[in-house]
Amino acid sequence: MKIGFLNIKDNTFLTEIGEIWRFTMRFFREINKPKQEYEEFVHQCFWIGYKTLTLVGITAFIMGLVLTIQSRPTLVEFGAESLLPAMVSVSLIREIAPVITALICAGKIGSGIGAELGSMRVTEQIDAMEVSGTNPFKYLVVTRVMAATLMVPVLSSMANAIALYGGYLGVNIRGQVSWHLYWFQVFDALSFGDIIPAIIKTFFFGFAIGIIGCFKGYYSKKGTEGVGRSATTAVIVASLLVFIIDLIAVQITDLLGLT
């Protein structure tokens, strides 16, 4: 039986979950081994972070602007227009900005890693590294997963700031709110219970995106067709994991009384 991108036949789906788990456990074993690839790690941070910042920034700005404009009529109807900066800030910081940023990263970073490692697999570059005595898992996988885990929270934090600035412009399209008053209302509405859980879950988003992209690319098969399939499935699975992690994070936050 086939459901979307999941081919549930002869326990194939469960087998792949087990392989992803083994791949993740191997990552934690390899990360503690000596000879850290710092140069490659910095290069991946640049590629993942700087090269994605423009896309994330534009999306975050539009997101903050549109959310503010769309929310105004409802608040005006209830006579609560003054609450607009507070509502926008809580919505962006707690949920919208982190999740949208993670989905953008899943599309760009996940597919990029999957295609890159997939190409290296089908052209036997990874096999050549193994024969030459180099640890390809340490060089290719560990560095990319660590870079994604670090840079997605950084991108999410920048997206928060840019989205809030977009919200400021949105508030002033049909109103008149000073710069100082806007930011006072924004930070007055926020608490550590809003900010800290939102930042913590972005580390898990980044890890999931990196590990899935590397897994799909590292074990790519069937030539160039397999490379395309690896990139596509990396995006789909990573995006699905982002929503699952977000759901779990919301439940944990609620149980801890941080909502």
Tens digit of each residue's pLDDT (9 = 90 or more) over 22-59: 999 999 999 888 878 889 999 999 999 988 999 999 99
pLDDT range class, residue 248, cuts 50, 70, 90: very high
What pLDDT does 259 receive? Answer: 62
> Looking at per-residue confidence, does 151 or 51 come out higher?
151
Please check the confidence at residue 3 and state whether its pLDDT lies above 50. Answer: no
Please check the confidence at residue 237 and state whether its pLDDT lies above 90. Answer: yes
Give residue for tokens 């000073």: 178
Interval 116-138 mean pLDDT: 87
Please check the confidence at residue 1 and state whether its pLDDT lies above 50. Answer: no
Instruction: List, as one string, the DSSP characters of 203-237.
Output: HHHHHHHHHHHHHHHHT--SHHHHHHHHHHHHHHH
Tens digit of each residue's pLDDT (9 = 90 or more) over 66-108: 999 998 888 888 888 888 899 999 999 999 999 999 999 999 9
What pLDDT does 11 receive? Answer: 62
Please check the confidence at residue 239 and state whether its pLDDT lies above 90. Answer: yes
Question: Where along the chain do its domains lie?
Answer: 1-30, 37-255
Interval 199-204 mean pLDDT: 95
Please check the confidence at residue 175 and state whether its pLDDT lies above 60. Answer: yes
pLDDT range class, residue 258, cuts 50, 70, 90: low
The share of the chain scoring above pLDDT 70, in percent, equals: 95
Interval 239-248 mean pLDDT: 95
What string of H, E and C letters represents the secondary structure of the chain?
CEECCEECCCCHHHHHHHHHHHHHHHHHHHHCCCCCCHHHHHHHHHHHHHHHHHHHHHHHHHHHHHHHHHHHHHHHHCCCHHHHHHHHHHHHHHHHHHHHHHHHHHHHHHHHHHHHHHHHHHCCHHHHHHHCCCCHHHHHHHHHHHHHHHHHHHHHHHHHHHHHHHHHHHHCCCCCCCHHHHHHHHHHHCCHHHHHHHHHHHHHHHHHHHHHHHHHHHCCCCHHHHHHHHHHHHHHHHHHHHHHHHHHHHHHHHHCCCC
Please check the confidence at residue 167 and state whether its pLDDT lies above 90. Answer: yes
Interval 130-157 mean pLDDT: 91
> Looking at per-residue confidence, does 243 or 175 come out higher?
243
Q: Number of helices (H) and strands (E), helices first, in the chain?
A: 12, 2
Q: Considering the chain, what is the average pLDDT of its residues?
A: 88
Interval 191-217 mean pLDDT: 93
> How big is the chain by its Cα radius of gyration, in Å?
21
Query: Tokens for 150?
Result: 């670090």
What pLDDT does 12 receive? Answer: 79
Instruction: Tell me the whole-structure pTM to 2 decimals.
Output: 0.89
Please check the confidence at residue 5 and state whether its pLDDT lies above 90. Answer: no
What pLDDT does 83 receive? Answer: 87
